[in-house]
Homo-oligomer: A and B are copies of this chain.
Amino acid sequence: MLRKDNFFQKGDFFMAIKYKWLAGTLRDLIKKDVKNQINKLPSEQELCRRYHVSRQTVRQALNLLTQEGLIEKRHGSGSYITGHSANLSDDQIAILISDDSNYIYPGVLDDIQGTLRKYHFSSQVHITKNETYEERKILTKLLSAPPRGIIVEGSRSYLPNPNLDLYRALQKKNCRFVFLHNYYQNFSQIPFVKDDNFSGSRQLTEYLLSQGHTAIGGIFHSDDLQGAERFQGFMETMRNQGLPVPDSRVGWFNSHDLDHLQRFQDTGFLKKIVQDSLESCTAVVCYNDMIAYFLIKELNLAGYHLPDDMAIGAFDNTYLSNSQILTLTTLSHKSHEMGTAAANMIIQQLKGIPVTFLEVPWTLIPKGSTPDNLLDNL
């Protein structure tokens, strides 16, 4: 009896060592799989064969990993990597965004953080103010205790970014990235979620053309990628209609102008654009609702009667497009799409699911700033 008891105890002991050893081996396999974009563990049968262990040992090891939150079993399908660490408090996602208080940002942040919470990832928000200098300070701090992933709205995204040294260092520490709204041209092959700006701009321009406008101007952001893309959609649509746009009809502003507009309501650059670029135009494609909102004020000051003297279209469908003075024809997304997609794409990477990029389409919402009666008046 004594011998038999001892034998059983010894057997249990070896069993325990075995499945813990296997669990450790599988933890390493999970890391390797995620790197190689494999989301699913081998079948129980395959694990038995590969590691020369019994079905029971495999099941015990998989149960342990499930309890730790590293995998989830799906009935009849197998064991899938969840993207979580054994320690849930390590599952931090950092969000670098230019603003959190204004315009589209509170909504986008809600969507990102809500989605992350749903999948048990916590998040910290860092405000870059659209400045690469702030971005650098934040990335430097993050590098000392890297989060599992970072969702980044690039700062001055159309310029060569000076912080790629830090982005690359974070990548080496296994940190994953998703770019939001834009990406850096000199830091390619990173997943991103952004608007389909080219097609949006084409839609808006075609709408203005369909209303009979031929002399259409544009106002775009010169140092973010969205500006360049919206410009390109506008220019190529006009060109394809046999109406190439004189360079003087396009007005440009930069991050510095935008900052002064938001902080001091300094509309100096818009006053110049009204004078230098829009004089010969009957319609204008605006970078976004905010620019259009302040442009309306400038046009009124300059004696324009709106909407008759100048049709205006913009991007973002924010509260600024529903102002009492004049409602704005603007492009819109399905609600929540962008932020939700960004959060999902960072989690998918942690799970080992391959992600590339997503371009969210725009839908045109015609409102008061583009009256339909132009052709009748001509």
Contacts and interface: CB of A to CB of B under 8 A. Distances in A.
Interface string A253-295: 0111000000000000000000010000000000000000000
A247 B160 contact: no
A305 B322 CA distance: 52
A232 B162 contact: yes
Interface in A101-155: 131-133, 136, 155
A360 interface: no
Interface in A166-222: 185-186, 222
B159 A239 contact: no
A125 to B, nearest CB: 20
Interface in A236-251: 236, 239, 244-248, 251
Given A222-B222, A252-B222, A276-B256, A247 B165 contact: no
A131 B247 contact: yes
Interface of A: 131-133, 136, 155-156, 159-160, 162-163, 165, 185-186, 222-223, 228-229, 231-232, 235-236, 239, 244-248, 251-252, 254-256, 276
19 contacts: A131-B246, A131-B248, A132-B247, A133-B245, A133-B246, A136-B239, A136-B244, A160-B228, A160-B232, A162-B235, A162-B245, A165-B239, A185-B185, A222-B223, A223-B252, A247-B255, A248-B256, A252-B254, A252-B256
